[in-house]
């Protein structure tokens, strides 16, 4: 497989020579309709208000072909070593279905990985049903009503975002819900807050750590155990209230301190793990396995869509290519993700990790310094709250910040009110459409303070309603977009060495700073507050 730096491609200079498409003069009703393509799971991607014309599309298609982007994706799902830094395969797609032809599969560590992931799903299905039906109870015989996930990074951000996103849909469908809470921060105020008022007899804790040695997670485990013992509940056994999601070889796998263990492996990175046992256990307990299975189905549809060679039929690939044009040709360093759905309030936080931990890299796959920008800074907040916060900068600031809007025709809970002739949901969609057009077209005014420059670029991911299938497709769309961009930039999107240095230094500090005078100085700084 041929990996090359972006600036070495034959079409890069030609792309740089093209002027951006002028939205103020070129945005037409026909363009808006024609610029929508399916993204799987009844989700659609619309790029009408991106600075892309027909010439740009032709060149982006050439870039995709020259960089062999779909071929690299096919190699990845076939088990090629794509995580070059750690010499590992990348198999998160396999957790939601096989993309290989015929009876092909991926073998690693002497086992069929598809069979391994499916086995874990079957175990999770059986366990979650037994808990929800009351056949597995707490140690004092009471039925489980609350689940608390203890993890950090990908063990927290993705599952937490998906739980928030699905809760309203499940309420409307009258699905019995076990409340889910999440502890992630080693700051003791986090577990203290989550554990306040919790009935330990009806709570099941999910300890998520692939290695079984994650410092923050194990510290919070001890915090929970201390709180359990402080209750002095007759007949209460802490081990009956803790399960683990970990690797087969970790200390947690066969620990007597947990009721059961469900397995993940090194071929699924934390930020890509929401469709593995990391997300499956908590979401299946909270909403039932059938709901999680529907999410997997939508993700698989998006994964299949990403195999399309035609960039105008491949939503994730086109989104990735346009993003590279924005980042490298137009030199725009940020992207805002703005969901017009309160259920997606934690989704931008998940995408921050997914994108910035994956493609925030300064060397290529061979370890050589790059001479062009890679992944953008990602931030976001749900609309319409964001309109009254940072949209001022987006509209009239000195920087152009591209936007990815997300919107749905119908609300999840189907509970609304009519005021001034329209429902709340209609007002929400009206605001979404208004913002897209305002950013693209701007406004001329004699008063400079009231002028809007326009040509502020955005895309739109949209569907009729936020369902499990649509959510799965949305999740996979962004995962595949990040993957394709990593291929284009020739970076390893599947390691995260940037988090390691801080961990090492924190260990030194906790042991007194050793001989590092700078660390000792900061220890002294805080010691003076005692």
Closest alpha carbon to 163 in 292, 300, 298: 292
Give 113's contacts (C-beta < 8 A, 6+ positions apart): 79, 91, 94, 105, 106, 107, 265, 267
Measured distance CA(292)–CA(283) in Å, rounded: 6
How many secondary structure helices (H) and strands (E) does the chain include?
Answer: 18, 17
Q: Which of 55, 450, 503, 524 is catalytic?
A: 503
Measured distance CA(210)–CA(112) in Å, rounded: 19
Q: Render the burial of 44-81: b for 16+ CB within 10 Å, e for the rest.
A: bbbbbbbbbeeebbebbbbbbebbbbbebbbebbebee
Measured distance CA(34)–CA(358) in Å, rounded: 32
357 catalytic per annotation:
yes
Q: Which of 201, 301, 357, 479 is catalytic?
A: 357
Q: For residue 384, is the peptide bond before it cis, meaning its omega torsion is within 30 degrees of 0?
A: yes
The number of beta carbons lying within 10 Å of the beta carbon of residue 149 is: 27
320 DSSP assignment:
H
Measured distance CA(154)–CA(270) in Å, rounded: 4
Measured distance CA(10)–CA(98) in Å, rounded: 34
388 catalytic per annotation:
yes
Contact 271, 157 (CB under 8 A): yes
In whole angstroms, how large is the CA radius of gyration of the chain? 24
407, 410, 413, 417 alpha-carbon torsion, rounded to 10°: 110
301 catalytic per annotation:
no
Q: Which of 13, 19, 388, 530 is catalytic?
A: 388
Backbone angles phi, psi at 104, to 5 degrees: -65, 150
28, 44, 405, 426 alpha-carbon torsion, rounded to 10°: 80
Neighbouring C-alpha atoms within 13 Å toward the C-beta of 507: 6
The DSSP element (H or E) to which 64 belongs, if any, is helix 54-66
Tell me the β-bridge partners of 149.
182, 206
Residue 297 burial by CB count (10 A; 0-12/13-18/19+): exposed, middle or buried? middle
Give 1's contacts (C-beta < 8 A, 6+ positions apart): 68, 71, 72, 75, 80
Residue 193, Cα to own-chain centre: how many angstroms?
25
Backbone angles phi, psi at 354, to 5 degrees: -55, -50
The DSSP element (H or E) to which 113 belongs, if any, is helix 113-133
Instruction: Name the pairing type of β-strands 81-83 and 88-89.
Output: antiparallel
Catalytic residues: 357, 388, 503
């Amino acid at each position: 497989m041929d990996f090359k730096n972006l600036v070495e491609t034959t079409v890069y200079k030609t792309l740089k020579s093209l002027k951006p498409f002028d939205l103020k003069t070129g945005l037409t009703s026909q363009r808006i309709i024609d610029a929508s393509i399916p993204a799987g799971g009844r989700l659609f991607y619309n790029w009408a208000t991106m600075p892309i014309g027909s010439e740009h599309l032709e060149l982006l298609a050439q870039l995709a072909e020259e960089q062999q982007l779909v071929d690299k994706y096919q190699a990845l799902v076939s088990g090629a070593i794509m995580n070059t830094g750690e010499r590992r395969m990348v198999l998160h797609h396999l957790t939601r279905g096989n993309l290989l032809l015929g009876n092909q599969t991926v073998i690693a560590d002497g086992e069929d990985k598809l069979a391994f992931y499916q086995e874990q799903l079957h175990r999770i299905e059986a366990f979650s049903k037994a808990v929800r039906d009351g056949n597995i109870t707490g140690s004092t015989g009471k039925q489980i009503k609350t689940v608390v996930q203890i993890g950090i990074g990908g063990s927290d951000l993705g599952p937490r975002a998906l739980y928030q996103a699905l809760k309203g849909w499940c309420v409307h469908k009258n699905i019995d819900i076990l409340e889910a809470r999440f502890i992630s921060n080693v700051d003791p105020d986090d577990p203290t807050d989550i554990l306040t008022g919790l009935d330990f007899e009806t709570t099941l804790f999910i300890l998520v750590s692939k290695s079984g040695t994650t410092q923050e997670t194990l510290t919070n485990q001890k915090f929970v155990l201390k709180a359990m013992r402080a209750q002095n509940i007759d007949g209460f056994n802490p081990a009956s209230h803790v399960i683990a999601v970990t690797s087969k070889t970790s200390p947690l796998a066969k620990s007597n301190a947990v009721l059961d263990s469900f397995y993940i492996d090194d071929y699924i990175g934390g930020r890509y793990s929401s469709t593995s046992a990391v997300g499956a256990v908590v979401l299946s307990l909270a909403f039932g396995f059938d709901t999680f299975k529907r999410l997997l189905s939508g993700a698989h549809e998006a994964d299949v869509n990403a195999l399309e060679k035609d960039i105008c039929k491949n939503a994730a690939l086109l989104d990735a290519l346009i993003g590279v044009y924005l980042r490298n040709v137009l030199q725009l360093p940020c992207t805002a993700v703005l969901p017009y759905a309160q259920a997606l309030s934690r989704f931008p936080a998940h995408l921050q990790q997914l994108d910035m931990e994956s493609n925030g890299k300064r060397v290529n796959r061979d370890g050589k310094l790059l001479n062009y920008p890679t992944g953008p800074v990602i931030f976001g907040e749900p609309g319409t709250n964001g309109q009254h916060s940072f949209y001022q900068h987006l509209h009239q600031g000195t920087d152009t910040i591209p936007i990815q809007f997300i919107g749905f025709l119908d609300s999840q809970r189907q509970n609304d009110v009519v005021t001034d002739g329209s429902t709340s949901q209609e007002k929400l969609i009206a605001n979404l459409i208004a913002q897209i057009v305002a950013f693209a077209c701007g406004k001329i005014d004699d008063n400079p303070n009231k002028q809007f420059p326009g040509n502020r670029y955005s895309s739109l991911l949209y569907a009729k309603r936020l369902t499990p299938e649509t959510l799965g497709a949305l999740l996979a769309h962004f995962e595949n977009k990040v993957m394709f961009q990593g291929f284009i930039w020739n970076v390893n999107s599947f390691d995260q060495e940037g988090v390691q240095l801080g961990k090492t230094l924190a260990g030194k500090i906790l042991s007194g700073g050793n001989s590092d005078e700078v660390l000792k100085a900061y220890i002294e700084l805080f010691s003076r507050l005692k």
